[in-house]
Chains A and B, each alone.
Chain A
Amino acid sequence: MIRALRTGTFHLGMGLLSLLWLAPILWVVIMSTRTFDDIAANGVGSLPHSFTLDTYSQAWTDGGELRALINSMLVTVPSVALSLVLAALAAFALSRYRIPGRRTILLLMLAGNLLPPQILLIPVSKFSELTGTFDTLYALIAVQVGFGLGFYTFVLHGFMRDLPNEIQEAATIDGAGPGQIFARVILPLTRPALAALGALSFTWIFNDLLWAITVLRTDDNMPVTPALLALQGQFVSSWNVIAAGTVIAAVPTLLVFLRFQRHFVSGLAIGAVK
Chain B
Amino acid sequence: MTSVDERVLAAQPPAPANTRPRRRRGKPLSPLLVAFVLVPFAVESIWVFWPALQGFWFSLTRWDGLEPPTYIGFDNYAELAGDATFRGALINTVLWLVLFGGLSVIGGFGMALILQRERRGVGFYRAALFTPVVFSLVVTALVWRVFYQPDGVADELLRAVGLEHLIRPWLADPETALYAVILPALWRQIGYVMVLYLAGLKAIDPALHEAAKMDGANNWQRLRNVTIPQLKGVNAVVLSVIVIDSLRSFDIVWSLTKGGPYHSSELLSTYMYSTAFQSLRLGYASAIAVVIFVLALAVILGYLVRAFREDA
Residues of A in contact with B (beta carbons under 8 Å apart): 10-11, 14-15, 17-19, 21-22, 24-25, 27-28, 31, 43-46, 86-87, 89-90, 92-100, 102-103, 105-109, 112-127, 142-143, 145-147, 149-150, 153, 155, 157-159, 161-162, 165, 168, 177-179, 182, 192-193, 196, 203, 206-210, 213-214, 225-226, 228-229, 232, 239, 242-243, 245-246, 249-250, 253-254, 257, 261-262, 264-274
Contact = CB atoms under 8 A, between A and B. Distances in A.
Q: List 9 tightest A-B contacts by C-beta distance, closest first.
A: A146-B47, A207-B136, A269-B199, A123-B51, A158-B11, A18-B128, A45-B156, A43-B151, A272-B196
Contacts of B33: 93, 97, 99, 178
A159 B241 CA distance: 21
Given A209-B250, A232-B142, A254-B134, A24 B5 contact: no
A116 B22 contact: no
Interface string B196-223: 1111100100000000000000000000
A252 to B, nearest CB: 10
Nearest to A24: B143
A22 B128 contact: yes
28 contacts: A21-B131, A21-B132, A22-B131, A24-B143, A27-B146, A28-B142, A44-B151, A93-B37, A96-B22, A98-B21, A100-B29, A115-B48, A123-B50, A127-B46, A147-B47, A158-B11, A192-B4, A193-B11, A207-B139, A209-B250, A214-B277, A225-B139, A253-B135, A265-B130, A267-B8, A273-B203, A273-B234, A274-B11
B266 interface: no
Interface of B: 4-5, 7-15, 17, 19-23, 29-30, 32-34, 36-37, 39-41, 43-44, 46-52, 54-56, 58, 65, 114-115, 121, 124-125, 127-139, 142-144, 146-147, 149, 151-156, 187, 192, 195-200, 203, 233-234, 237-238, 240-241, 244, 247-248, 250-251, 254-255, 268-269, 272-273, 276-277, 282, 285-286, 288-290, 292-293, 296, 300
Contacts of A267: 8
B14 A25 contact: no
A211 B228 CA distance: 38
A27 B40 contact: no
Contacts of B32: 177-179
